[in-house]
Amino acid sequence: MPKVILNTKDLCKTYLTDGEAVHAIKNINLDIYQGDFTVIMGSSGSGKSTLLYILSGMEDTTSGSVNFEEIVLNDLNEDQLSIFRRKKIGFVFQGINLVPNLSIIENVILPGYLVEKSKKKVDQRARELLGIFGLEEQSFRLPSQVSGGQQQRGAIARALINSPQVLFADEPTGALNSLQGQNILNVFTELNSKGQTLVMVTHDIKAACRADRILFIKDGRIDGDMKLCKYSETDISKREKTIFDYLTQKGW
């Protein structure tokens, strides 16, 4: 049995806006396994982003708990949480959010300096990551001087600078064209094949194809949990059909 890296117990999240309660997450009990590429799907407003933000310690819970290995996130104060996030997790957003007046490599290095005392080590790792993602030539350009796909690869490099145990991504291909999107997915597949644990929200079946587990969220609850074999280039159309049929059956 693979190791559980993240776990929720009776997790609930309620937002209060203008005196009205929105129950975004309703009693979710979930285990996320180390080494898995877990994808979260579900219709708009079903609670996918809220769940991802809570799992990654960016959003607090209304009730229930989130456990990251031996760490109980609910027990951490704000300072401890931000240290936790910096060291243990990486997060890639849909809208690319690199700091506009810093170069690509400065963006990647910045969270590294906050954790690792040796600047030399951080610089070396940043160069290594940018090399892996084919961004050597773009290292010293500003985000506005490279393509959207290159910016998103830079954002992934930044998310990986502290070697996080889990990399989260909320619709990371949502703002990209199809070629750029495939490129990002290839990066994720490659990372996962080397053991990186990934949790990604997506609307896109092609993106979901990369998963070895698909969680389906409906109205704040887990309504489906499908296990797939690891992604490979062969039988992609069969894989897409399996996922499509599953989602159709779920009322997607």
Ligand X SMILES: Nc1ncnc2c1ncn2[C@@H]1O[C@H](COP(=O)(O)OP(=O)(O)O)[C@@H](O)[C@H]1O
Residues that bind ligand X (CB under 6 A): 15, 17, 22, 24, 42, 44-50
Nearest approach, Cβ of residue 13 and ligand X (Å): 8
Give the per-residue SS3 of 96-120. Answer: CCCCCCCCHHHHHHHHHHCCCCCHH
Residue the block writes with tokens 């060291």? 87
For the CA atoms of 243, 246, 247, 250, what is the dihedral angle to 10 degrees?
-170
Q: Which of 49, 61, 173, 197 binds Mg ion (CB under 5 A)?
A: 49
**Sequence-distant (≥ 6) Cβ neighbours of residue 157 within 8 angstroms:** 104, 108, 126, 129, 130, 132, 133, 135
Amino acid at 169: A
Residue 78 Cβ vs ligand X, minimum distance, rounded to whole Å: 18
Residue 24 contact among ligand X, Mg ion, none, beta carbon within 5 to 8 Å by kind: ligand X
User: Which residue's CB is nearer to ligand X, number 46 or number 196?
Assistant: 46
Nearest approach in angstroms of CB 12 to ligand X is 12
Span of 42-50, 58-66, 111-119, 121-129 interacting with Mg ion by CB under 5 A? 42-50
Report the residue number, 49 or 183, with the smaller CB distance to Mg ion: 49
Least distance between Mg ion and beta carbon 50 (Å): 8
Instruction: Label the pairing between strands 71-72 and 166-170.
Output: unpaired
* DSSP element (H, E) containing 148: helix 148-160
Stretch that binds Mg ion, among 48-56, 140-148, 184-192, 222-230 (CB under 5 A): 48-56
Secondary structure (DSSP) of 157-222: HHHHTT--SEEEEESTTTTS-HHHHHHHHHHHHHHHHTT-EEEEE-S-HHHHTT-SEEEEEETTEE
d(CA 37, CA 196): 8
38, interface contact from ligand X, Mg ion, none, CB < 5-8 Å by kind: none
Taking the complex as a whole, the smallest distance from the CB of residue 187 to ligand X amounts, in Å, to: 22
The least distance separating ligand X from the CB of residue 99, rounded to whole angstroms, comes to 23
Strand partners, 218: 221
Between residues 49 and 139, which has the closer beta carbon with respect to Mg ion?
49
Tell me whether residue 49 or residue 138 sits nearer to Mg ion (CB atom).
Answer: 49
Separation between Cα atoms, residue 36 and residue 192, nearest integer Å: 7
For position 197 contacting Mg ion by CB under 5 A, the verdict is no
Tell me which of ligand X, Mg ion, none is bound by residue 115, counting a contact when its beta carbon lies within the kind-specific cut-off of 5 to 8 angstroms: none
Binding site for Mg ion (CB under 5 A): 49
